[in-house]
A and B are shown apart, each in its own frame.
Chain A
Amino acid sequence: MLNRRDKRRYLALWDSDHVRDHHKIVESIRKRNSELFGQIATEKANLRLIGIDEKHIIILSCKLEALGALLSTIVLMESPMPLLRISGTLKALRRFLRDAETSILSP
C-alpha cells in the first residue's frame, strides 16, 4: 500500500500589528478556528508556523482539505492579517515574496 503524504498549502500572511511573538499568532488562529469550525477540524488542519521574514510576513502551512476553513478564520480574526499568497510549495512562495512588490506592506 502506498504511504502518501497529505497535500499541504503554504500561506503568506501580513502581520500588520507587528506582533513579536509569532507563536501567539498561530495560537490565536487555532483558537478562532476551533471556535468557528470545531476542535476536530482544527486538529485535522495541522496548522504549522514555518517562519517570519523582515517584512513582517508570516508563513504558515496547513492541510489542503482545511484550507477553506482556515481562510475564513483568517478573515474573521480580530486582528487583521491579510493573506498575500497561497502556494503548494515553500520554494514558490518564497520566490513570490522575494520578487513581488510588497513594499506597501512594510512599515
Chain B
Amino acid sequence: MIKRRDLCVRDCNLERVLKTAQILGIDEIGVTACTGRALENVIYRLNTHPHIISNYPYLVVSNKIEDLSSSELDVFVVRDYARVKHIIKKRVRTRIGLEVFLADIRTANGSSVGKWFEQLRGLYKLCQSIKCQFILSSGANSPREMIAARCFDSILEVCEVRPERYWQELEEWLKIKLGKRCYTDVE
C-alpha cells in the first residue's frame, strides 16, 4: 500500500496535527517542532544533526543556498526556482530532496500560479535528471492549512507527475535517508 506523506507541517501541537493528518488521509508527517521523542508517523525536520544519538527519524533541512552542497543536508527548500535553478544544477549533490511548499502559492494570482506549475514541472524533470528527490509539501502553519492526500494527487497530476510514482519514489528515498541512521524503538 502506498503511504502518503506531507513532509512539512509547522505546528507545535503534534497531537492535533496527527489527528488532522489521519482525517486528511496523510500517513506520515514531517514536523518542525522537535520533541526529542520518537513518535509514530512523525519525521522531524532539523537544521543540523543532533549532537547525541537520536531515537527518532529526522531530516536535516535548509533553505539557504550556501547549505546546498553541504554533505549534512537532506532536504533543500526551493522558494524561488527561477532564481536558484542554475545554482542547483551546478552545486547540488545527488540524492538530496528538493522541496516545494504549496503554502507559498496560495495568495498568488492565476498567472503566477500558472508559472509556478510550469516551474514545478521543470523542477521535477531536473530532479529526475540529477537523481534528486522532488518533494511537494503543504508548508502548513496550522492544521487548517494542511492538505488532503487526494488533493496532493490532483496537484501532482496537474504537474504531469504520476501520483503513484511520486509516492513510491518518496518512500524509497526516505527509506535510504532515514535507514542510514540508528534508532531505538518507537513509542
Interface residues of chain A, those whose CB is within 8 Å of chain B, are 14, 16, 32, 35-36, 67-69, 71-72, 74-78, 80, 82-84, 86, 100-102, 104-105
Contact = CB atoms under 8 A, between A and B. Distances in A.
Interface in B151-171: 151, 153-155, 157-158
B151 A71 contact: yes
A83 B148 contact: yes
Contact of B106 (A80, A100, A104): A80
Contacts of B107: 78
Contact of B109 (A35, A68, A74, A100): A35
Contacts of A68: 154, 157-158
A35 B19 contact: no
A36 B145 CA distance: 20
Nearest to A80: B145
A75 B23 contact: no
Contacts of B19: 101, 104
B108 to A, nearest CB: 8
Interface in B125-180: 140, 143-148, 150-151, 153-155, 157-158
A75 B113 contact: no
Contact of A14 (B16, B140, B144, B155): B144
A82 B146 contact: yes
Most buried by B among A16, A72, A101: A72
B105 interface: yes
Interface of B: 16, 19-20, 23-24, 102, 105-107, 109-110, 113-114, 140, 143-148, 150-151, 153-155, 157-158
A104 B18 CA distance: 10
A83 B110 contact: no
Contacts of A100: 23
B19 to A, nearest CB: 4
Contacts of A104: 16, 19-20, 23, 143
A35 to B, nearest CB: 3
A72 B158 contact: yes
Nearest to B157: A68
The 9 nearest A-B residue pairs measured at CB? A35-B110, A16-B144, A71-B154, A83-B148, A104-B19, A80-B145, A75-B151, A72-B154, A68-B154
Nearest to B156: A72
Contacts of A71: 148, 150-151, 153-155
